[in-house]
Amino acid sequence: MSEEVSRGSGVRPEPGPDATQSRLRLPIIQAPMFLLSGPEMVIASCRAGIVGSFPSPNARTLEDLEHWLQEITSALAESPEAAPWAMNLVMHRTNPRCYDDLALAVKYQAPIVITALGSPRDAVDQVHSYGGKVYADVVSLDFARKAAASGVDGLALVCAGAGGHTGQLSPFAFVEEVRGFFDGEIILSGAITTGRSLRAAQVMGADYVYMGTRFIPTHESRAQEAYKKMVVEASGSDIITSDAITGVKANWLRQSLIQGGYDPSNMPAAADINFMKAAGDAKRWRDIWAAGQGVGAIHARQSIAELVEQLQREYREALAL
């Protein structure tokens, strides 16, 4: 991406045909969720007509990751009408597997690579070499500008209310300001749980939305049954924002914090940022569960196919208004 395009003029050109969107039933990316997204979720999402994704560290070893990629690519090869899939790479310096995971993404030609917690620069040329796209998760305008300058195809704006690691900006402010310097694709994230909110995101100028929390109670999710039940029963007032767990501000379910021995009204100071240490702490992730502020709109456990059907009905109803 040229410096001119990355900075932009504030005027977005008319979009041309997009190979990714043309294969989608809805412009939704099933967000990559730590420990919860696996091959089952990815395959079911892609077959339902939305982008399925997973974080590469969910596969405990490189060998596991390669097996997952073989399973995903083999299953989707049998479904030529399926939507593209995406792999999420943690680019933080504490992730020693970062470049090995990237090499496997290139080997299996991941249609979309989503980078998080670090610069996407090292991934861009390699993914572009086979025609893939790179999207970068960003939680602030400074990070958005840096990612745009690195040549990414899209920016995933993680706004206030997002589950797991969250941003602090309103989506209204974030989208408007990013559109002033970036003409690429925008993925909007933060408490988006219905077809109506998908339509609202499009009106604001987003090309896609992330939905993560909405997929936690699905049958294909790797969440514990108690976790799924808690999400279905929770409301927005049950979401606590804290950086005490991973060192990065994230949204957590109140009851799971209590189960983990924390007082939600008196959370400790920020933890050190060490992604791999957090990933290896089984008790922490077994007892403390992330979710976004949109939990109050989730009322049932469903298959991903059933969920996408519902979202499409809601979206069509919103278009008719």
188-208 pLDDT, tens digit each: 999 999 999 999 999 999 999
3-class DSSP assignment, residue 37? coil
- The pTM of the full predicted model, rounded to 2 decimals, is 0.88
Helix then strand then coil, in percent of the chain rounded to 5, is 45, 15, 40
Report the alpha-carbon distance of residue 115 to residue 98 in Å, rounded.
10
pLDDT for residue 279 is more than 70: no
Q: How far is CA 293 from the centre of its chain?
A: 15
Handedness of CA 256, 195, 197, 76 (dihedral sign): positive
Looking at residue 83, its pLDDT comes to 97
What the chain holds in terms of domains, given with CATH numbers, is: 24-221+301-319 (3.20.20.70), 225-293 (no CATH)
Got the DSSP string for 115-152?
EESS--HHHHHHHHTTT-EEEEEESSHHHHHHHHHTT-
Q: Residue written as tokens 């572009």?
A: 128
Report the alpha-carbon distance of residue 172 to residue 246 in Å, rounded.
27
In tens, the pLDDT along 60-87 reads 999 999 999 999 999 999 998 999 999 9
3-class DSSP assignment, residue 212? coil
Looking at residue 186, its pLDDT comes to 98
Looking at residue 280, its pLDDT comes to 45
Rounded alpha-carbon distances, angstroms, from residue 13 to 16, 34, 185: 9, 35, 12
Q: What is the dihedral of CA 53, 59, 65, 69, to 10 degrees?
A: -30
